[in-house]
Amino acid sequence: MARTLFGTDGIRGVAGEYPLDGRTARAIGAALGRWVRRSHADPRVVVGMDTRESGPWLAAELAAGLGAEGVGVQFAGITTTPGCAFMAKTGPFAAGVMISASHNPYRDNGIKVLGHSGYKLPDDQEELLEADILAHPGEDRGAPPLVVDAGLDRAYLDHLAATLPGGLGGMRVVVDCANGSASHLAPALFERLGARVDPAGCSPDGRNINLNCGSLHLDALRAAVLERSADVGVAFDGDADRALFVSGSGKIVDGDAVLLLIARHWKDQGRLSNPPLVVATVMSNLGLERALASYGIQMIRTPVGDKYVLEEMLRRGAVLGGEQSGHIIFRDYATTGDGMLTALRVFEVMRDTGADLDELTRDLQVYPQRLVNVRVRERKDLDQLPAVAAEIRAAESAFGASGRVLVRFSGTEPLARVMVEGPDLKRVEAFAHRIAARIRAELGE
Q: How far is CA 356 from CA 78, 138, 163, 228, in A?
A: 33, 53, 21, 16
CB 198 within 8 A of CB 173: yes
Length, in residues, of the chain? 445
DSSP structure string for 406-423: EEEE-SSSSEEEEEEE-S
CB atoms within 10 A of CB 361: 22
3-state secondary structure of 306: helix
Q: How far is CA 316 from CA 267, 274, 289, 311, 321, in A?
A: 17, 10, 17, 9, 11
DSSP 144: P
Measure the CA–CA gap between 195 and 215, rounded to whole angstroms. 21
Q: Which residues of 195-213 are buried (b: 16+ CB within 10 A; e: fewer)?
A: bebbbbbbebeeebbbbeb
Residues designated as active site: 102
H or E element at residue 244: strand 243-247
Outline where DSSP puts E strands in 260-341: 277-281, 298-302, 320-322, 328-330
